[in-house]
Structures are given as C-alpha cells and as structure tokens.
Chain A
Amino acid sequence: EVQLVESGGGLVQPGGSLRLSCAASGFTFSSYDMHWVRQATGKGLEWVSAIGTAGDTYYPGSVKGRFTISRENAKNSLYLQMNSLRAGDTAVYYCARVVGSLHFDLWGRGTLVTVSS
C-alpha cells in the first residue's frame, strides 16, 4: 500500500527540540521531492519545508534556521529536526509527497506537536 506514516510528535517545552519522522512505503521514495506541512488547530495549512531528490532543501522564513529537513533513502524515511520551538509551532505536522507540477498527491495522517510549559 502506498502510504506515509508520521511519528515523533508530543509535548515539548518552549525552547526545546523534537525530531519528527515520516516512513514511506509502496513507492520509490528516493524518486520524489518530499515536504512537511503543518496546521494549527482550527487554522489553515502552512508549508514548513521541502527536500528534493538531490538533497536540496527549502524553508519559509518562519522556520528557517530552526528547522532542518532531511531524508534517508535507504530507510525510506523523511525527518524534520525542530529546534528552538515556540508556542506558535504547535500544530499537526503532515509529511507529503510532491509530483508533477509541484502538487501534493500523497499525505500522511499527521503527528501532533504541542509546545507548552
């Protein structure tokens, strides 16, 4: 089955760190650009980071310098290292696959990150 499964979410204090993982299955993971998208409760979707097949990475200004996306093709896995976390980073984090004209055709179910003291 073609799927993405996120893990690693949880409760973390402001200023803390967390590493999210996304396990891919059912497709050739190394052939696809991969992304993280987040959604705060009751809010809209916010793109968080992207990594290309060659390992090139991209971030919006809101997380640049604090978040690091990486991939391990041998393990069919995507990661998001989140440092210096803030209350505003509280959200469900989705990993997503990108195809064609840069649209997200496959999403995971998400993992909840809560930043609170």
Chain B
Amino acid sequence: DIQMTQSPSSLSASVGDRVTITCRASQSISSYLNWYQQKPGKAPKLLIYAASSLQSGVPSRFSGSGSGTDFTLTISSLQPEDFATYYCQQSYSTSNLYTFGQGTKLEIK
C-alpha cells in the first residue's frame, strides 16, 4: 500500500508569510497528487490537482509542485482565511486508491 507522509504536522505562521508544506509518497505516484484545505466543521475543499494544477476559483497564492515521491504545497503570502488544515491525497494506486496524508494544521502565530 502507498503511504503518504506530510510534514510538518503543525505549523505556526503570520499573515503575509510564505509557507511550504511537504508530502512524501512511499513509492512513485507520478503526478497523481492532490491538495485539500479543510476548515473546522466544513468539508474539504480542493486546492491543487495533478500536483500543480490550480482548481478553478482558488487564489493564485496557492501553488503545488513535485512529481514521483516528493511534493510541496506553497502559500506565497498567507491570508487570514488560509489558517486551516491541509491534506495531500494520492490517486495513483488502484489497490488503495485514495490514500490521504495525515494533515498539516496551519495556525496563526
């Protein structure tokens, strides 16, 4: 089974900061990597798909990169509404189709 590991598990940052979250797959997943944002009590929201494609309506301060086993989500200039939990998700394996990372909680410093 493909395992997804995010780092860090939590992060404190200030409005205006540049933030990077990392996701590592236990084996190559090509570019089948997606990023979601979740706020308390709400459903997850798709931010980035296929490693680097920005979902329609998502601000351009969000970007994704990587391929193979190592991926990053970058927020170029944190806004107050960006404080949330972020999850990566692989969609490469057909035997364990949709593994999620454990999440990264982004908090206000």
> What is the interface size of chain B, counting residues whose CB is below 8 A from a CB of the partner?
25
The answer to whether A100 and B43 touch across the interface, beta carbons within 8 angstroms, is no
A47 within 8 A of B: yes
A14 within 8 A of B: no
- Chain A residues 62 to 117 lying within 8 A of chain B, measured CB to CB, are 94, 100-105, 107-110
A27 within 8 A of B: no
| Cβ–Cβ < 8 Å partners of B103 in chain A | 44-45
The answer to whether A58 and B44 touch across the interface, beta carbons within 8 angstroms, is no
Q: Closest CB of chain A to B97's CB: distance in Å? A: 6
B14 within 8 A of A: no
The answer to whether B49 and A100 touch across the interface, beta carbons within 8 angstroms, is yes
The answer to whether B49 and A45 touch across the interface, beta carbons within 8 angstroms, is no
State whether A94 and B43 are in contact (beta carbons under 8 Å apart), knowing that A44-B103, A103-B34, A105-B55 are contacts in the complex.
yes
The answer to whether A58 and B97 touch across the interface, beta carbons within 8 angstroms, is yes
Task: Give the contacting residue for B43; candidates A101, A102, A109; CB below 8 A.
Answer: A109
The answer to whether B98 and A105 touch across the interface, beta carbons within 8 angstroms, is no
The answer to whether A50 and B89 touch across the interface, beta carbons within 8 angstroms, is no
The answer to whether A104 and B97 touch across the interface, beta carbons within 8 angstroms, is no
Binary flags per residue of B25-68, CB closer than 8 Å to A gives 1, else 0: 00000011010101000111110011000010000000000000
| Cβ–Cβ < 8 Å partners of B31 in chain A | 101
Q: Which of A102, A103, A104 has the most CB of B within 10 A?
A: A103
Q: How far is the CA of A112 from the CA of B59 in the complex (A)?
A: 31
Task: Give the contacting residue for B97; candidates A47, A107, A110; CB below 8 A.
Answer: A47
Chain B residues within 8 Å of A, Cβ to Cβ: 31-32, 34, 36, 38, 42-46, 49-50, 55, 87, 89, 91, 94, 96-103
27 A–B contacts from the bound complex (CB under 8 Å): A35-B98, A45-B36, A45-B38, A45-B44, A45-B87, A45-B89, A45-B103, A47-B97, A47-B98, A47-B99, A60-B96, A94-B43, A94-B44, A100-B49, A101-B31, A101-B32, A101-B49, A101-B91, A102-B91, A103-B34, A103-B46, A103-B89, A103-B91, A104-B34, A104-B36, A104-B44, A105-B55
